[in-house]
Structure 1
Amino acid sequence: MDRRDIEFDADGTTLRGWFYRAAGAAGPAPTIVMAHGFSAVKEQYLDGFAEMFAAAGLNALVYDHRNLGASDGEPRQEMDPWAQVRDYRSAITYAATLATTDRERIGVWGTSYSGGHALVVAAIDRRVKCVVAQVPHISGSESGRRRVRPDQLPGLLARFDADREARFRGEPPGLFPVVAADPAAPCALPGADCWEFFDGSTTRAPSWRNQVTLRTLEMAREYEPGVYVPRISPTPLLLIVAPHDRLTPPDLMLEAYERALQPKRLVLLPGGHFDPYIAGLAEAGGAARDWFVQHLAG
């Protein structure tokens, strides 16, 4: 597989990742811009998707979000969803400068939190000619309401307020665990499947950190990418939903799909939120590959 390391500027911050060259391409080829979900880095199984795309004649540009993994940015472990949306657009700009990219055939792929970003970017950036959103984040307010136990919510909101005052005094941002082995322990992504995915991928992704800033959680609760879904058309949209997803509620994804206009396609993938990365990679990656090939390489 032809893969090289890349880096590019995103509003003054250097982002780093990989570029996979489309197999058999003699000239410019379609390019898929990709990034991972909440707190995750590219080594956590994005190479499998990129390799499938490259084998089908599609370039793949994979990068780490700012403040995470190999990319620069401060404060570390902070995820501002709108900064990440702007970085997707910077990645598209970078991809368009490459001689190996057909700038009229650029697609975006996102998963989980970045699946929400993919929806927003496809709606606001017409350079995007095709989009795949895998188990995407749809509504911060509704997901937050379901994810945080009612008895823990007052304490979390109080921590947000205290953290804001501490930052005002010049102190470093507070941190919060992403996942926890104890199902009763407060964390950003509760559930045994969340712990198993992240804890099980630490060997292949040593740059991943089990913490995010408290401000990350506050911004996530305010982020509503689902409202952009009706604006994606006429860009072709593929939505991949796991019916047993306990992290990004399937009913929110299905409601978003109903609001989307044509052309669109829905794929229901057996299993839960993390199955597409490993057990369901062939099906999830294959559906995305075929959608991109149909609309970008056909």
Structure 2
Amino acid sequence: MAERQDISFRANGVDLAAWFYPAAAGAPVVVMSHGLSAIRRMNLDDVARVFQQAGLAVLCYDHRCFGDSGGEPACEADPWAQVRDMRDAISFARTLDGIDPERLGIWGTSYSGGHVLTVGALDRRVKCVVSQVPFTHGARTFEAWVPEKARARTLERMTKDREARYAGSAPETVPAAMEGSETEEWAKASDKEGRYPNKLTLRSLEMIREYEPHQFAARVAPTPLMMIVAARDTQTPVEGQIETYELAGEPKKLVRLDCRHYDPYLSHIDQAAGAARDWFVEHLRP
């Protein structure tokens, strides 16, 4: 198997750090990115190698403002900036040596699981989509994360941060993985190089409320769509994921795993990555 290559590419004025996994000449290519605050060094190499072993080339990158990628402010997850970057990643992937630019798939998980729904609906260069444990409903997810009694206070804090930034202050930040949380458990298990910043700008959470990928689901067809759903997901509400899948047209496939949100990267990686691999191979073959 060919060695993984460290590369970078330009996306909307920012250099994004990436890994490229070559395959045989004329191979399809899959573009991959991680979730809300995660970096590619947290489990994505394992997923990419499953794809590469099946004859798929892979471009796996860090979002702007995270990991080894550029962008300011650090640790800000702007969903629409990430969507635009994903479309530039597609443009770049189509220029890579040895790949077939007409056979391109996109894989996203959690927050980027929402992005691939959005991009799959908007960009017909995409020939196959896999959306794993996806973020589908912004307002609902925010309400699931923030108890009702704390919402007014949280929104006021966001307003103050917005006004402070306008006045020139640095953005307020919050932990991405709270102590004792499932996210912290996963981060400790996955951040083997100690590179995870465990931080998000407060504005990132504000932008979560504004982003509704489920609205794009019906427009993905006729591009083939697989959704991988974790039955015990407490991070991205399962009900919203199933509703989103039902909105999508054919061809589509739903994979249900009896696990939690982060388990597809660890204990259930064989089932999750294997299902995605098979979907890509089926729909990106010549």
State the SS of the aligned residue for 2:209: helix
Q: Distance in 1 between matches of 2:185 and 2:210?
A: 27
- What TM-score, normalized by structure 1, do the two folds share? 0.94
Counterpart CA distance in 1 for 2:68 and 2:268 is 27
2:91 and 2:144 map into 1 onto residues whose CA distance is 37
For structure 1, list consecutive stretches of 5 or more residues without a partner in the other structure: 183-191
Q: Distance in 2 between matches of 1:146 and 1:76?
A: 26
SS of the residue 1:70 aligns to: coil
Deviations 1:150-208 (A, max 9, x none): 222122111101101111111111111111115xxxxxxxxx3212011332333x221
Q: CA RMSD in A?
A: 1.0
Q: Give, in whole Å, the separation in 1 of the partners of 2:66 and 2:22.
A: 24
User: Paired residue for 2:284?
Assistant: 296
Q: 2:275 is matched with which residue: 287, 292, 296?
A: 287
Q: 2:218 is paired with a residue of what secondary structure? A: helix
CA deviations on 1:106-149 (whole Å, 9 max, x unpaired) are 00000000000000000000000000000000001011111111
- 1:178 paired to 2:215: no
> Are residues 1:278 and 2:266 paired?
yes
Q: Which of 185, 209, 213 matches 1:225?
A: 213
Q: Moved runs in structure 1, 4+ residues, more than 6 A?
A: none
2:183 aligned with 1:194, yes or no? yes
Give, in whole Å, the separation in 1 of the partners of 2:192 and 2:47: 19
Structure 2 CA distance for aligned equivalents of residues 282 and 201 of structure 1 = 16
Q: Percent identity?
A: 49
Q: Residues 1-298 of structure 1 correspond to what in structure 2 (within 5 A)?
A: 1=1, 2-22=3-23, 25=24, 27-182=25-180, 192-204=181-193, 206-297=194-285
1:41-89 CA-partner distances (Å, limit 9, x unpaired): 0011001110000000000100000000000000000010000001111
Instruction: Give the aligned residue type for 1:196.
Output: E
**For 1:274 and 1:11, how far apart are their aligned partners in 2?**
30
Q: Which 10-residue stretch deviates more, 252-261 or 108-117?
A: 252-261
| One-letter amino acid of the counterpart of residue 120, structure 2 | A
Q: Is the 8 A contact 2:41 2:191 kept in 1?
A: no
AA of the residue aligned to 1:203: K
Does the 8 Å CA contact 1:15/1:63 hold for their aligned counterparts? yes
Conserved in 2, the CA contact under 8 Å of 1:70 and 1:207?
Answer: no
- C-alpha separation in 2, matches of 1:248 and 1:171: 31
Q: Deviations over 1:204-225 (max 9, x none)?
A: 3x22111111111100111000
Give the AA of the match of 1:201.
S
> Is the CA contact (8 Å cut-off) linking 2:133 and 2:229 kept in structure 1?
yes
Counterpart-to-counterpart distance in 1, 2:80 and 2:196: 21
